[in-house]
Structure 1
């Protein structure tokens, strides 16, 4: 009889935990969402202001440490509010910077490999792949299209 009672109590507890509604669960979710948004905003500010993306060896752990959060929190914020993981997030800043260099005129004498290096990419292939994924064209095509217009 006690075993049946404990079993029913266990089932009720599991059901309550899984299906409960109300402000308790929602408040926690809203707090989490606000905290993630705050972390994401701080991450963008640091990356932009300090040009963190130019560091070829940038790691999530370094960024998290600089922001005084743990890696999991920063990763969750990036995954939640950007269109990809940490690497894709960093590469999006690098691509935007590379576009400026490709069309600015000041770097017209730079090779594509030199532009990649200047933007924080460790090699030409990863630059080409990230650039093409983001813009739909290669850096060379992008430069030519912007120079002709």
Structure 2
């Protein structure tokens, strides 16, 4: 997930990951659910949100819109991105970006 970044593909499925890892889908699902305590899409979205946070922190990318970022990291809709981002960070992407700007002042 870290090296190849398959989470950037908005159409990513657990079947894709299982095929790539050569692990049966059921085994992978159980592993993610029980070992990590997450559903597959929450697991994938964690990587997407972490990636989005890196982009939002990058001072050279302050002109990149939230909409551009959400597509870049693999989300298909603004509402699902905002929901996942807030669940992960406690803030919306806009609030998060603003808090970073205030810290740098």
**Deviation per CA, 1:37-92, whole angstroms, max 9, x where unpaired?**
xxxxxxxxxx1110111011000011101111111000011112223100000000
Aligned pairs, number: 103
Which structure has more helix as a fraction of its residues?
Answer: 1
- Measure, in 2, the Cα distance between the counterparts of 1:135 and 1:48: 20
RMSD (CA atoms)? 0.8
Looking at structure 2, the residues matched to 146 and 81 of structure 1 have their Cα atoms a distance apart, in angstroms, of 33
TM-score (normalizing by structure 1): 0.67
Structure 2 unpaired stretches of 5+: none
Q: TM-score, normalised by structure 2?
A: 0.94
Q: Distance in 2 between matches of 1:107 and 1:69?
A: 38
Stretches of 4+ moved more than 4 A in 1?
none
Higher relative contact order (CA 8 A, sep 6+): 2
Which entry has the higher C-alpha Rg, 1 or 2?
1
The equivalent of 2:33 in structure 1 is: 79
* Aligned mate of 1:131, from 85, 89, 99: 85
Q: State the match for 1:33 in structure 2.
A: none
